[in-house]
Amino acid sequence: MGKLLLYHGSGNIVEKPLFGKGRKDNDYGQGFYCTENIDMAREWAVDENRDGYVNRYSLNTSSLKMINLNSEDYCVLHWITILLQNRRFELDTPLSREAYRYLNDNFSLNLKDIDIITGYRADDSYFSYADDFVNGIISVRQLSEAMHLGELGEQIFIRSRKAFDNLRFIGSEPVLSSEWYAKKADRDKRAREAYRNLNKNDYIRGELYMVRIIDEEVKVDDPRLQ
């Protein structure tokens, strides 16, 4: 029997996460977002002038179907395609609109029977990286490197009613903004500074940019995506 110890940072104590609640335009859609890293949850729990809580849960995974977008079975284009399907991108250029169509046609995943998704968290920093990639500013390699900047972490997304039913509340602890907001802001600052140093203003010959992926009809089994 597999079990995960999960944490959810919030402004509230959440003893019973409710299936069918939450914003539909979050990274992976409507569901419940957690992490296995308690310090990450502490940072997510607070705002600049608001304290919060870390909620602890046990999740029985023995009967659940799970995918990890950061495993070798997937590439970063699977992640960005799910993001495009859920987050609000400004598709205001011909390239970005064609990128949306091409990625959906070739890198969509059938998530109908999936209960749990593990993958990157697209906070403001990560979202800007994804937006730059779709608009042809950075390459696949640069996008993959950017995902690790600032150690912004993975999240575990609970999406199905079955997964919600397997989630058990253990307890909660208060989190002080005075202690954890500065750490949250510093992590984001480091990620942004590292991204500015990624040489994204120069075109790098031979690399896979969005326009090349479309023109060469790059597919999921292309070794350049590994």
The answer to whether the CB of 52 falls within 8 A of the CB of 8 is no
**pTM value surpassing 0.85:** yes
CA angle 198, 138, 109 (to 5 degrees): 120
pLDDT at residue 162 in the model: 96
Band the pLDDT of 149: cuts 50, 70, 90. Answer: low
Closest CA to 96 of 19, 207, 209: 209
Banded model confidence at residue 113, pLDDT cuts 50, 70, 90: very high
Q: What is the mean pLDDT of residues 159-163?
A: 96
How high does pLDDT run on average in the chain? 90
Strands 116-120, 66-68: pairing is: parallel
- How many angstroms separate the CA atoms of 187 and 64, rounded? 33
User: What does the pLDDT average to over 196-209?
Assistant: 82
